[in-house]
Amino acid sequence: MPGGVLANTHEDSIRPIQEQWAEIKYRLPEKQQAERYHALAEQARQLVATQPGNAEAMIWQGIALSSEAGAKGGLGALSIAKAAKQQLETAIKFDDKALNGSAYTSLGTLYYKVPGWPIGFGDKARAEELLKKALAINPTGIDPNYFYADYLAERDRHAEALRHLEIALKAPLRPGRELADAGRRQEILVLIARVRKEME
């Protein structure tokens, strides 16, 4: 089936980007990350330019940009976060279920990490709405459960956060994403410890 072939081609084209992202996030010192994410976002942008309908590439461009914004921090990161938001919103218009709804996870995360009005576009209610959409598409996924739990922990909704962290910990492993899964599991364990401490 042509559709299946196209999906495989898209998967192959984004694999190097996925692998590089995990390398940057989990193996590089923090001070080197922003620059590398910037280069990765550019690589994804070029892929989007050559494959205009590739929602997966758009999502990875958005993820690389939001990771760059997070690594850079401060007010200078806001324009990068806005570019990430735009890219993820475009990906949702093309295919909101691409990469198991990852665009909703990343967009929801941006909405609760970015400051609110008048500085940025942050919006906690919108964040929850988007993160729940991601969970509706991928209820057992490691990322949607982890980021929703992180959001809940920030809102002092500890019992709910723990429930989603436990689901995230049991999430099925993703072929080819071993480093990303191992790194995320470490983050889950750290967050579980923090949430339990706050509940004492």
- Of all residues in the chain, the percent with pLDDT exceeding 70 is 95
d(CA 3, CA 171) in angstroms, rounded, equals 28
CATH number at 14 reads: 1.25.40
Same domain, 117 and 168: no
Same domain, 119 and 82: yes
Range of the domain at 178: 139-200
Per-residue pLDDT at 11? 73
Same domain, 103 and 155: no
Place of tokens 């990430």: 84
Eight-class DSSP state of 140: T
pLDDT reading at 1 higher than 50? no
Task: Tell me if 184 sits within 8 A of 142, measured CB to CB.
Answer: yes
pLDDT reading at 116 higher than 90? yes
Counting the structural domains of the chain, the total is 2
Task: Tell me if 63 sits within 8 A of 102, measured CB to CB.
Answer: yes
Same domain, 38 and 78: yes
Classify 13 as helix, strand or coil: helix
- Environment class of residue 126 by beta-carbon count within 10 Å: exposed (0-12), middle (13-18) or buried (19+)? middle
Same domain, 103 and 54: yes
Which residues have C-beta within 8 Å of that of residue 70, sequence separation ≥ 6?
A: 77, 113
- Of all residues in the chain, the percent with pLDDT exceeding 90 is 91
Q: Confidence class of residue 8 from pLDDT cuts 50, 70 and 90?
A: low
Phi-psi region of 74 (alpha: psi -120 to 50; beta: other; left: phi over 0): left
Query: Mean pLDDT across the stretch 17-43?
Result: 97
Q: How many CB atoms lie within 10 A of CB 29?
A: 6
Q: Confidence class of residue 188 from pLDDT cuts 50, 70 and 90?
A: very high
Using alpha carbons only, how large is the chain's radius of gyration in Å?
16
pLDDT reading at 55 higher than 60? yes
Task: Tell me if 170 sits within 8 A of 129, measured CB to CB.
Answer: no
In 73-141, which ranges are continuous DSSP H helix? Answer: 78-95, 102-113, 124-137
d(CA 50, CA 14) in angstroms, rounded, equals 12
